Structure 1
């Protein structure tokens, strides 16, 4: 039995245009999908989400193409604090804390197993891949890119640095360890990664002139 609902022939390929989503209904659906997934350890079916949320399948399919898409957004909504860090924090510290929050979330909560399932399913199901990219990965990447751009504006990060690639490098070790399990998601991983990355992107101060003898 597949671990996720693929987009069925009866479901639209993409959310249809229409009336704006009711926030109360949206949160009910996201909470239902997330609660069911965290309790059951797998991606719930659309029928289960609809029953739990007290809505119809049609309502869900108006806004999401699959239960995986609902869950990806639901997990982000439930654990949004793992990507929100104040701009008052130093750039390097904000990046370290963001990576560390992801490590902690994937290691210490049931979300880790669910994200691993969704990533595995994304390899063969394009709809799941799009859902994960749009509703889980991109919001996190955008936040990291924002802090890197702050670094550029503050003269801390090289303006010629490929920020998209830097974001990839920051998060890749976390997902690599999550999927393959070859090494633990240890508490110090985020700082180790940032300590490796930061020297390659930071603006180095010019050497002070030698004192006259």
Structure 2
């Protein structure tokens, strides 16, 4: 039996982890109920104590599963925390069908801001970022599982815009990504007021003026 009794009164899995879609993997299929319990436990612990303090032992106890079960599916506590967050937020980097370059970037910019300003996911992201400064495992998971996939998605959109002639041929795509998306993280990390809808529009319009091809004389 994978499930063990802890009798610690923890609540049943709900919220963020419950909406995480199952990803196909080789080998033995995961038990969906146990997986949801583990992801929720990791999320709850990260929100309560910070992502850097979450351990496999603590997750196992709260989720009422064995350590052996957890290690069959995840290599580390950091990987569990990130999977619970990522699975719920994966659609935020997929642009709406039929959107042009600016529309696709606008979608990603507002979706990220919504994640970072949400009362549940915002503190969780902030906790993971804080833990990454002192924990190499968390830092690697944050970079590989969160930042790089999101960055690659918007970079691809911008490069397509360059190829289509919507954006300048000499555009520095990496700097453009930094200019557009760094402000939301900056405000989260330093607990500043988040960007509102009007500020997001102004940010995109300001950066976009430097990205587009100048009108022919």
Question: Which structure 1 segments of 5+ residues have no match?
Answer: 1-18, 208-213
- Superposition deviation, residue 50 in structure 1: 3.4
Higher relative contact order (CA 8 A, sep 6+): 1
Corresponding residue for residue 115 of structure 2: 105
Query: 2: distance between equivalents of 1:62 and 1:164?
Result: 37
CA contact (8 A) 2:92 2:108 kept: yes
Corresponding residue for residue 16 of structure 1: none
- Superposition deviation, residue 174 in structure 1: 0.5
Q: 1:31 to 1:154 in 2, by over 3 A?
A: farther
Query: 2: distance between equivalents of 1:61 and 1:147?
Result: 37
Q: 1:87 to 1:138 in 2, by over 3 A?
A: farther
Q: How many equivalent pairs are there?
A: 189
Q: 1:61 to 1:168 in 2, by over 3 A?
A: farther
Corresponding residue for residue 93 of structure 1: 103
Q: Which one of the candidate residues 14, 33, 51 is aligned to 2:42?
A: 33
Question: Which structure 2 segments of 5+ residues have no match?
Answer: 1-25
Cα-Cα RMSD: 2.8
Q: 1:48 to 1:166 in 2, by over 3 A?
A: same
Query: TM-score, normalized by length of structure 2?
Result: 0.73
Residues 28-72 of structure 1: per-residue CA shift (max 9 Å, x gap) = 44455346656x474343234335666543444455443222211
Query: 2: distance between equivalents of 1:138 and 1:79?
Result: 14
Please state whether the residue corresponding to 2:215 is helix, strand or coil: coil
- Superposition deviation, residue 168 in structure 1: 1.7
Q: Which one of the candidate residues 153, 159, 162 is aligned to 2:163?
A: 153
Query: 2: distance between equivalents of 1:206 and 1:116?
Result: 45
- Superposition deviation, residue 179 in structure 1: 0.5
Corresponding residue for residue 56 of structure 2: 46
- Superposition deviation, residue 118 in structure 1: 1.0
Residues 177-196 of structure 1: per-residue CA shift (max 9 Å, x gap) = 00012343323332222112
Query: 1: distance between equivalents of 2:201 and 2:124?
Result: 25
Does residue 155 of structure 2 align to residue 163 of structure 1? no
Please state whether the residue corresponding to 1:188 is helix, strand or coil: helix
